[in-house]
Chain A
Amino acid sequence: GAGVSQSPRYKVAKRGQDVALRCDPISGHVSLFWYQQALGQGPEFLTYFQNEAQLDKSGLPSDRFFAERPEGSVSTLKIQRTQQEDSAVYLCASSFFRAAVYEQYFGPGTRLTVT
């Protein structure tokens, strides 16, 4: 079946612009995660949804970052007033979340460049 999809794949924003990144998880997956990957680093957790509820947003770096999943499927990560340090690849992952199994599947990512 279809995997996790993300759009756009590439985004160039001028400093100060707002951006919105979309994630379509695998159908039926309850859990959805956002991660941020800086160049040369491993991905770092941003936020977690179980269905439409945002249960953990401890990794969001500032109040300029906002995520939503209003119907428990598609999710949007929004970054307001982008800064150069926001340049990174933003990865979305989903998981079925059945008991004692937490395997996550990742989308291709959105590469954000802030100029």
Chain B
Amino acid sequence: GIQVEQSPPDLILQEGANSTLRCNFSDSVNNLQWFHQNPWGQLINLFYIPSGTKQNGRLSATTVATERYSLLYISSSQTTDSGVYFCASAGGTSYGKLTFGQGTILTVHP
């Protein structure tokens, strides 16, 4: 099945800094999602982005499907951005079963 790798595994920032999280996937995909898992364990949808570029406030994402990677950009980070960021992709099935990466643990200090 498809494999998903995320980098870096850990990231520590000062409030206000910018960051880029990367997700590599091993095959063509029909679904690519970025999630933020908050301290209570809830997976919050950030982007549904199997290809192209999207922006939502301080967050943006780009997926280059032909090169099998996706990037999540966080600008002007805030302490509330802390948590685990997951990339998940799906390919090879008709219904979008997700394979998750190991996540990036982001810590933003005030």
The chain A residues found within 8 Å of chain B, CB to CB, are 31, 33, 35, 37, 41-45, 48, 50, 55-56, 89, 91, 93, 95, 97, 100-106, 108-109, 111
B101 CB contact (under 8 Å) in A42, A56, A101: A42
- Inter-chain CA distance A95–B33, complex, in Å, is 13
9 closest Cβ pairs, A-B complex: A102-B96, A42-B100, A106-B43, A103-B48, A102-B31, A108-B42, A43-B100, A109-B41, A45-B97
Q: Give Cα A95–Cα B98 distance, bound, in whole angstroms.
A: 12
Q: How far is the CA of A105 from the CA of B103 in the complex (A)?
A: 18
Q: Is the CB of B33 within 8 A of A104?
A: yes
**CB-defined A-B contacts under 8 Å, sample of 27:** A33-B98, A35-B98, A37-B41, A41-B102, A42-B86, A42-B88, A42-B101, A43-B88, A44-B100, A45-B98, A45-B99, A48-B97, A50-B95, A55-B95, A56-B95, A91-B43, A95-B96, A100-B30, A102-B31, A102-B90, A102-B95, A103-B33, A104-B98, A106-B45, A108-B40, A108-B41, A108-B42
**Chain A residues touching B, majority SS:** strand
Instruction: Answer whether residue B93 sits at the interface, using C-beta atoms and an 8 A cutoff.
Output: yes
Total contacting residues, chain B, CB less than 8 A:
23
Determine if B31 and A103 form an interchain contact, defined as CB atoms under 8 angstroms apart. yes
Q: Tell me how far the C-beta of B84 lies from the nearest C-beta in chain A, rounded to whole angstroms.
A: 9
Contacts A42-B86, A103-B45: A56 and B100 contacting too (C-beta < 8 A)?
A: no
Residues of chain A contacted by B100 (CB below 8 angstroms):
42-44
Q: A42-B86, A42-B100 are in contact. Are A106 and B42 (CB under 8 A)?
A: yes
Is the pair B101, A102 in contact by a Cβ cutoff of 8 Å? no
List 4 other contacts, CB 8 Å, given A45-B97, A106-B42.
A42-B103, A43-B43, A100-B30, A104-B33
What residues of chain A lie closer than 8 Å to B95, measured between beta carbons?
31, 48, 50, 55-56, 95, 97, 102
Contact between chains at B45 and A105 (CB < 8 Å): yes
